Amino acid sequence: MLVLVAPGQGAQKPGFLTPWLDLPGVTERLTWWSAVCGLDLIHYGTEADEEEIRDTAVAQPLLVAAGLVAAHALFEGIGGATGLAGLPNRIGAVAGHSVGEITAAAAAGVFTDEAAMVLVRRRGLAMAEAASRTETGMAAILGGEQDDVVAHLDKHGLTPANVNGAGQIVAAGTAEQLAALAEDKPEGVRRVVPLKVAGAFHTDHMAPAVAALEALVAGVPVADPRTAYVSNRDGGVVTSGARVIERLVAQVSNPVRWDLCMETFQKLGVTALVEVAPGGTLTGIAKRALPGVTNLALKTPDDLDAARALIEEHAVPALATPAEEELREA
């Protein structure tokens, strides 16, 4: 069984969209999405520097657009289907890390690409505005026992904003709290690495952004996922489109439990994992946390043939298995 995953903020690099523009229709698609979300995605994905695309309001739409471009290219023509219509007959589950959940939801048919771009643009702007109120940030903690690390963070008033598994937790909080953590690392931790993000995402600091998104999503047309959708909240399989979008909004101020998502992949019987552009982060975690599972990151169009071959080798129809039924949200 193959899982399709989408990375979150921090995965972007200057110029990473450039090779994708060589594919037929990609420039036109990005031009349309740019108009939809009010952001020049082609400029930011090809010409902008690292500082420009670090901006939360830019990075998030750029990542979702890149992931959807890669997903469309990957599934175009597979099994005779057009675009993502072929996904349910090939992919057993989808999931995304943080903002990647919007990519995953659109790929699974919960809402349209256009709705995804409107939603992610508003999400990025709202989170950037919330982050501007207090100087906050995030830092990756590498090594140590999970329970010990979480307890140590609580001592400093920090939130374990991303519990990624494979010995990686991302702490979030104020600049002062993060400085204290750098001086007082948890026992057994190898390194504390400041992240190039502009706020304490997935914490209470993002509560204003949640309120802004709640006012927006009530009018978004949604459908139930076409394949198993694994949620960052608790690793549960969510089968209602309405519940997917509710969780997407609430997740902005709640920790990402990627470790639990990977546990669900295992329970569903994952044998392969493909990460859409800009791939690399989640496949790196999976190599350590999911031994025996084949991983492939879609970094450029040169990776498409290998990804398609992997899909054909590991494809299963997206039908409810006993394991999936047990993991579904009550």
pLDDT digits (tens, 9 = 90+) for 4-31: 999 999 899 999 999 999 999 999 999 9
The DSSP code for 161 is E
Q: Where in the chain is the domain with CATH 3.40.366.10?
A: 2-131+204-327
* Average pLDDT, integer, range 277-295: 95
Residues recognised as catalytic:
98, 202
Work out the angle at residue 40's Cα, subtended by the Cα atoms of residues 125 and 209, and round it to the nearest 5 degrees: 10
What fold does the segment set 136-194 form as a domain? Alpha-Beta Plaits (3.30.70)
The answer to whether 68 touches 101, Cβ cutoff 8 Å, is no
pLDDT bin (cut points 50, 70, 90) of residue 237 is very high
pLDDT surpassing 70 at residue 322: no
Residue 58 clears pLDDT 80, i.e. is over it:
yes
Delimiting residues of CATH 3.30.70.250 domain(s) in the chain: 136-194
What pTM did the predictor assign? 0.93
Q: Which CATH number, 3.40.50.460, 1.10.3720.10, 3.40.50.720, 3.40.366.10, labels domain 2-131+204-327?
A: 3.40.366.10
Is the per-residue pLDDT at 84 higher than 80? Answer: no
Q: Is 145:196 a contact under the CB 8 Å cutoff? A: no
How many Å apart are CA 67 and CA 6, to the nearest integer?
A: 6
Q: Where do runs of H (alpha helix) occur along the chain? A: 26-37, 41-46, 50-54, 56-75, 100-107, 113-131, 146-155, 175-183, 207-217, 241-250, 258-268, 281-289, 304-314, 322-327
pLDDT digits (tens, 9 = 90+) for 117-170: 999 999 999 999 999 999 999 999 999 999 999 999 999 999 999 999 988 999
User: Is the pLDDT score of 300 beyond 70?
Assistant: yes
- Here the tokens at position 7 are 């990375």
Least-confidence region, from 17-26, 82-91, 126-135, 291-300 = 82-91
Q: What is the pLDDT of residue 317?
A: 54
Residue pair 283/273 in contact (Cβ under 8 Å)? The answer is yes
